Amino acid sequence: MTNKIQKNISIIVAIAENFAIGKNNDLLFHLPTDLKRFKEITSGHTIIMGRNTLLSLPKWPLPNRRHIVITDKQDDVFPGCETVFSIDEAIEKVKDEKEAFIIGGGMIYKQFFPVAGKLYLTLVHKTFDADTYFPEVNYAEWNELKREDLHDEKNDFDYSYLDLERK
């Protein structure tokens, strides 16, 4: 696998303060404004995910996005999606695109994190019990491009949107 930073590869993820992202193949929190942000940022772009993330979507493929699914099962076929069998193969498929988004799950995030050029984080200001975690972010290695701190009346936690670019 390549270890060179891919400036056109971005990760979009919602994480808790303890880097928790999921439990039982589901999200830990439901933030309608975050889902809207996800749609706005990824619309018109390629999204790259693992097979379990695709299968966890309520309906797929998501509109107005090219889907690349990374799987280790050679006979996997997902209508409306392209299938690849390695991180390098996914990177090769999007090499000419301005920006492509990694949307999960945990293993895919861990594999792409060392080479991603940008992070679009939703940082939930709370810790959660989880079975899936995002790699620990050393914020000193990233430039903050944008930050928005939010409060949601429907949840007992605040959250922030952070757009980061690798230094």
**CATH code where residue 153 lies:** 3.40.430.10
Q: What is the DSSP letter of 97?
A: S
Span 124-129, average pLDDT = 96
Q: How many domains does the chain have?
A: 1
For 30-58, give one letter per residue: b (16+ CB within 10 A) or e.
ebeebeebbeebbeebbbbbbbbbbebee
Do residues 109 and 9 touch, judged by C-beta distance below 8 A?
Answer: no
pLDDT score at 128:
96
pLDDT score at 155:
78
**Residue 127 pLDDT grade (very low, low, confident, very high; cuts 50, 70, 90):** very high
Nearest-CA neighbor of 141 among 157, 119, 123, 158?
119
Span 79-108, average pLDDT = 97
Which tokens go with 100?
A: 């492509």
Bridge partners, 15 (sequence order): 123
- Measured between its terminal Cα atoms, the distance across the chain in Å is 21
> Residue 38: which domain range?
6-166
**Would 1 be classed as within a structural domain?**
no
Do residues 155 and 141 touch, judged by C-beta distance below 8 A?
Answer: no
Which tokens go with 3?
A: 């270890």
**Would 99 be classed as within a structural domain?**
yes
pLDDT score at 145:
98
- The mean pLDDT value of the chain amounts to 95
Cα dihedral 23, 82, 121, 118 in deg (nearest 10) = 140
Q: Where are the alpha helices (DSSP H) in the chain?
A: 32-42, 51-56, 87-93, 106-112
Do residues 92 and 115 touch, judged by C-beta distance below 8 A?
Answer: no
